[in-house]
Each structure stands twice: as structure tokens, then as C-alpha cells.
């Protein structure tokens, strides 16, 4: 049985995507759910959140055998083999990391070139396009994980196309601003085109023994990261963008007509509204742990201690909401 792959994606950066994957991976681990955090963003920010520089030096390509996503696909890129067995970095008993790599960007042109060749029933093209999915499934199999949470970059390139068609579900992190809504306008039609393109190509696979992703890419909802109130921008400005999110998501991502008035609080597609937790986020980054693991020794005292508890409740609620939406089982 294949693991569920849930990708967090927005064409607009700076919406807390990587932080969401990091915190949710830890929350599922805390709940006793075996999970893989997969870093398919060539910037590798998710990997840097989990690991210190000493460990990264050992894992990245200056090591003899890079234990990264790129290390798995490098033989395929060079044309000397297929994907290798993935290294899964153990973060916790229930949490493994598929390590990101800046060299992953070198795979972009290959993915772009192989996409049209799938139409011609080219076996290598199918191996290249399905590489990410096969690596993630192998990683999940190693850890007995039924869920993979994937982080990708904020663009519409060939790497993200291969990552998205490897996904069962897509969750869209948003900020209440013009740029996030514009990102939805780009994201929705593009992902639908990718899905349709893969569904047309997959039956042309000439090698029956080669397992391929289903290309489901089902929109599972969106998460709104609330802004802190700023003196130079009135709250009213945020309110107007918040009011437009439900309709934009329905029209652009789901390709459905917008009927009636829908707000974040009554929109079934809104999985959560999260506070920015700015000071706690900085504290967590310095301590290299999720917000809800912060202790008094980390500086989480007084109001910060209360914020730690609130963050734990918020992410626990979100983890349950995502599990319900994706059909994942929680203990």
C-alpha cells in the first residue's frame, strides 16, 4: 500500500510553507504517527530547520556519497542507472527526513526534457518523471510511514510539476494579501494542467513493472497565516484580502462557481487560521525545535509559555483536520 503524499504548495513565497511542514511533521510524530518530511525545494530550508551545519556537511554532496534526494536520483540523471535507495535521516522515533539538496536544481532541465517524451512511450522518460514518487515511497517503506509531508519551492517549474503529480493531496498555505491571491490564480489552472497531462501520459508507460504515481493531486484545503498588526497598514486592509480568500480558492483552485457569501470561519476548505507566533518562532529556530517543544530553559517563560501551549493546541487541531481530510488514521 502506498503512503499518502501531502504537498504544501503556493506559487507565492513567504507564506510559512516550510514552517508548516516542519511543525506538522513534529506534531504527527508526537501523536505517534510515523511520518516522512520530504524536502523537494532546492533551497533546502526544511532540511536546514531539522539539521545543524555539522550534520549537513556530512550529508550534502561534498561527502563521498551524498545522502540526499539528489543523491538518490543522480544515477538516473547521469544515465547510468535508476533511482537509488534513499537515506532517511532519523529525527525522532516516528519522524524521518528525506534530506534536501541545493543540487536538486540541476535536475530541472532533465525533468523538463522528459515530460514530452512520455507521450512517445519513452521508458526512461517515465523513470525520470516518476523518480520523486518512487524515492518518497521507498523512504516511507523504510520507516513504516503512511504519510509523507512534502515541501516544495514557490514556482511553477518542472521540479514542482514532478513533485505535484507525485502527490495525493495538495494543501495551500496563504497570507491575507494580494500576492497570495494572485498566486492562486497561477497555481490552480497550472496544477490542473499538470494533472491532466499526467493522466494522458501515464497509460503510455511501456514498462508494466515500473510503478507510477496516480497523479491525484486532490486539493485538500488551505491554511491562512495571519499577519501581525502593523502600524503602517490598517487592519481594514487585511480584512479585505481575508474576505476574498474563500471565493478565490473555490474559483481558482477548485474551478468551481462562487455562490453566496463564504467567510473563513464557515468555509469547509479552510483548515486553520494560524497566528504568526513571531517571537516564539525565532526562539524555536534558535533552539532548533518546534514551538510546542519549547521549555523554560529555552526562554519560554510567562506569556511565552502560554503561547507554547496555544501553538500546541493549534497544530494538534490542524494535524487532525488534515488527517480527516486526507483519510489518514490517527491513534
Whether the model pTM is above 0.85: yes
pLDDT for 180 equals: 85
3-state SS of the chain? CCCEEEEECCCCCCCCHHHHHHHHHHHHHHCCCCEEEEECCCCCHHHHHHCCHHHHHHHCCCCCCCCCHHHHHHHHHHCCCCCCCCCEEEEECCEEEECCCHHHHHHHHHHHHHHHHHHHCCHHHHHHHCHHHHHHHHHHHHHCCCEEEEECCCCCCHHHHHHHHCCCEEEEEECCCHHHHHHHHHHHHHHHHHHHHHHHHHHHCCCCCCCCCCCCCEEEEEEEECCCCECCECHHHHHHHHHHHHHHHHHHHCCCCCCCCCCHHHCCCEEEEECCCHHHHHHHHHHCCCHHHCCHHHCCCCHHHHHHHHHHHHHHHHHHHHHHHHCCCCC
- Band (pLDDT 50/70/90 cuts) for residue 319 is very high
Least confident of 239-243, 251-255, 319-323: 239-243
Per residue in 185-239, pLDDT tens? 999 999 999 999 999 999 999 999 999 999 999 999 999 988 655 444 556 667 8
pLDDT for 281 equals: 87
pLDDT for 232 equals: 47
Domains in the chain (CATH in brackets) are: 4-277 (3.40.50.300)
Amino acid at each position: 500500500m502506498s503512503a499518502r503524499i501531502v504537498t504544501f504548495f503556493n506559487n507565492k513565497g513567504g507564506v510559512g510553507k516550510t514552517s508548516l511542514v516542519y511543525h506538522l511533521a513534529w506534531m504527527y510524530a508526537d501523536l505517534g504517527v510515523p511520518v516522512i518530511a520530504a524536502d523537494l525545494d532546492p533551497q533546502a530550508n526544511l532540511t536546514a530547520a531539522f539539521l545543524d551545519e555539522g550534520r549537513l556537511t556530512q550529508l550534502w554532496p561534498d561527502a563521498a556519497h551524498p545522502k540526499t534526494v539528489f543523491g538518490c536520483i543522480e544515477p538516473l540523471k547521469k544515465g547510468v542507472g535508476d533511482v537509488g535507495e534513499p537515506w532517511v535521516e532519523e529525527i525522532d522515533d516516528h519522524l524521518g527526513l528525506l534530506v534536501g539538496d541545493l543540487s536538486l536544481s540541476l535536475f530541472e532541465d532533465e525533468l523538463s526534457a522528459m515530460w514530452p517524451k512520455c507521450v512517445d512511450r519513452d521508458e526512461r522518460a517515465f523513470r525520470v518523471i516518476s523518480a520523486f514518487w518512487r524515492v518518497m515511497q521507498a523512504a516511507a517503506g523504510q520507516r513504516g510511514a503512511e504519510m509523507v509531508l512534502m515541501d516544495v519551492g514557490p514556482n511553477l517549474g518542472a521540479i514542482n510539476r514532478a513533485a505535484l503529480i507525485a502527490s495525493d493531496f495538495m494543501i495551500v498555505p496563504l497570507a491575507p494579501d494580494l500576492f497570495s491571491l494572485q498566486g492562486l490564480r497561477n497555481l490552480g489552472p497550472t496544477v490542473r494542467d499538470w494533472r491532466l497531462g499526467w493522466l494522458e501520459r501515464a497509460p503510455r508507460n511501456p514498462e508494466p513493472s515500473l510503478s507510477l504515481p496516480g497523479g491525484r493531486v486532490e486539493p485538500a484545503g488551505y491554511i491562512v497565516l495571519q499577519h501581525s498588526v502593523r502600524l503602517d497598514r490598517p487592519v481594514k486592509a487585511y480584512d479585505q484580502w481575508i474576505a476574498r480568500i474563500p471565493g478565490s480558492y473555490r474559483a481558482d483552485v477548485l474551478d468551481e462557481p462562487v455562490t453566496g457569501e463564504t467567510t473563513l470561519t464557515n468555509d469547509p476548505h479552510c483548515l486553520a487560521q494560524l497566528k504568526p507566533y513571531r517571537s516564539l518562532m525565532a526562539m524555536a529556530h534558535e533552539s532548533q525545535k518546534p514551538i510546542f517543544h519549547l521549555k523554560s530553559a529555552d526562554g519560554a517563560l510567562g506569556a511565552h509559555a502560554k503561547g507554547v501551549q496555544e501553538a500546541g493546541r493549534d497544530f494538534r487541531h490542524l494535524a487532525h483536520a488534515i488527517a480527516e481530510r486526507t483519510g489518514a488514521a490517527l491513534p
